[in-house]
Amino acid sequence: MGMRSVRAALLGGVLAMAGGLTALAQEVGVTPDRVRIGMFAPLSGPSAAYGQDVLNAARMWFDKINREGGIHGRQIEAVVEDDRCNANDLVAAVKKLVEQSNVFALNGGSCSAAVVAASDYVVRNRVPLVMLNASGDGALFPPNDYIYGAFSISQHAAGGSAVEFAARHFNARRIAYVNHDDAYGAWNLNAAKFQAERRGAGLNVQSISPNITDVTAPMVRLRAANPEVLVIMTYARPAALIIRKAMELGYRGPIVVAVNATADLRQMVANGGGPEAFRNVYIQEVLADLPGSARLQWVYDMYRQAYPQLASQEGRPQVYMPYGLPSAMSVTRALEAAGPELTREKFLAALQGLDFDSGVMAGPIRFGPRNRAAQQAAIYIKYDGATMERVPGSFASDWRFE
């Protein structure tokens, strides 16, 4: 053994001691009557609307389970941290939950880019992470043993589902597809191409900047291709520009708008050219039915009962509130399936085998040996700027990570 190897071995020893070589106790965060779950979401700042009520929804589900006696005699103890929708703060929150609060598993993350920042850490420390409402494609593909998410829908599935709807519902063979020229756009296009090929349809794609201010050039090109359906996978502001331009260019075919753009529909109608431009517009929705419909009423009733003061405030519950439920349901179902002798390995194995209807989302919550993205389907709603009419059925993406 040369001097260099000796030095490396010594240094390795010193660093390992400094690192504290903590034996990874599998039962960390578990006592006979309690299991500690670390939750994190943006609870302050401009992105709080993505996380506050989503986390509240997950907590109200845990509270319900606790009132019913817990799981295998254990009450769920939620420890909450604010991640500010920012990568550095999210990592701080996760490290605090894991290393200081000693949680058994993590249930958090509403911001896709930020949650990816913690992915290497949770994998290295073998901590299960069940995301809240982040689509989180960057952390889910390629799949690993510790991270589960996309309870609303992954970017991949959003693209695949929109094309499935255009091809199946309208029997379209020429589909115009506008996405962003960033990673999110690349992800949804990936699945959209797969779905189009499977349905024998052609995709005419225009990828635009999220900051675009004039969509004339890409729209003229798409118009020239005489599409049967126009699919818009952009954020709200470019989507409104595209809808307005489509009307100006005389396009009267169906327009399908992805869920990414639908947080404030009234604003989209105002920016998109008014009701005239919305004569043939369909919006993608990942819930099981129209928001506020009888089928989902129990979700909103449960929220009002759990948070009466909050529910009385203007703008509550926030739009994405229901998304927190399937995530929390997955945690409690996996805890149940893992059995009374709870370990992280058993919990992870149980997560992999989950397949259930949440009663909240458009499709089933389903994982598998190579699938970490829970939800692949969407419903579609005809929206004329004032009223909503659901198209029967749900439309799922068939793309899977290979």
Partner 1 sequence: MPPQQAVAALPARASSNLRLGLLVPAVAAVVALALLPVFTSGYVVYVANVLLVYVVLSLGLNLVIGEAGQFSLSHAAFYGIGIYAAALGNKLLGLPLVGCLLLAGVVAALLGGVIGTIALRMRDIYLALTTFAFGEAMQWLFLNWEPVTGGPNGLRIPPSSLFGVEILNDKQAYPVVLGVALLMLGATVVISRSRLGRAFRAVRESDVAAMAMGIPVRRVKIMAFLLSAFYAGVAGGLFATFSTYIHPESLGFQTTMTVLTMVVVGGLGSTGGALLGAVVFGLISELLRQAPAVQEMTYGLILILFMMFVPRGLAPAVSRWVRGRGHV
Which residues contact partner 1 (rule: CB under 8 A)? 4, 7-8, 11-12, 15-16, 18-20, 43-45, 48, 81-82, 84, 86-89, 91-93, 95-96, 98-100, 113-114, 116-121, 124, 138, 182-184
Q: Which is nearer to partner 1, 7 or 295 (CB)?
A: 7
Question: Distance of CA 226 to CAs 79, 202, 252, Å?
Answer: 54, 12, 11
Shortest distance, position 203 Cβ to partner 1, whole Å? 21
Q: Which is nearer to partner 1, 186 or 290 (CB)?
A: 186
As a whole number of Å, the CA-based R_g of the chain is: 23
Strand (E) positions, 151-273? 174-180, 202-208, 229-232, 255-257
Q: Let me know: does 40 contact 83? Beta carbons within 8 Å.
A: yes
Kindly tell me which of 192 and 288 has the beta carbon lying closer to partner 1.
192
Q: Quick one: how many helices (H) and strands (E) in the chain?
A: 15, 15
Cα–Cα distance measured from residue 48 to residue 141, given in angstroms and rounded to the nearest whole number: 26
Hey, is 186 helix, strand or coil?
Answer: helix
How far apart are CB 13 and partner 1 at their closest, in Å?
9
The distance of closest approach from Cβ of residue 390 to partner 1 in the complex, given in angstroms and rounded to an integer, is 33
C-beta separation of 401 from 143 below 8 A: yes
Q: Which is nearer to partner 1, 184 or 282 (CB)?
A: 184
Q: Enumerate residues 6+ apart whose C-beta is below 8 A from 72.
A: 335, 336, 339, 340, 342
Please identify, using beta-carbon distances, which residue of 20 and 32 lies nearer to partner 1. Answer: 20
CA distance linking residue 361 with residue 149, whole number of Å = 13
CB 176 within 8 A of CB 206: yes
Is the separation of the CB atoms in 264 and 286 below 8 Å? Answer: no
Give whichever of 22 and 387 is closer to partner 1, judged by the CB atom.
22
Do the strands 281-285 and 229-232 form a parallel or antiparallel pair, or are they unpaired? Answer: unpaired
Q: Which is nearer to partner 1, 43 or 331 (CB)?
A: 43
The Cα–Cα gap between 137 and 111 comes to 11
The rounded distance, in Å, linking the Cα atoms of 60 and 44 is 20
How near is the Cβ of 283 to partner 1 at its closest, in Å? 24
Kindly state the helix (H) or strand (E) to which residue 361 belongs, with its residue range. Answer: none
CB nearer to partner 1: give 8 or 224: 8
| Shortest distance (Å) from residue 148 CB to partner 1 | 19
44 vs 305, beta carbon nearer partner 1: 44
Least distance in Å: CB of 182 to partner 1? 4
The distance of closest approach from Cβ of residue 342 to partner 1 in the complex, given in angstroms and rounded to an integer, is 23
On the 0-12 / 13-18 / 19+ scale of CB atoms within 10 A, 132 is buried
Torsion angle in degrees (nearest 10) through CA of 114, 115, 121, 124: -150
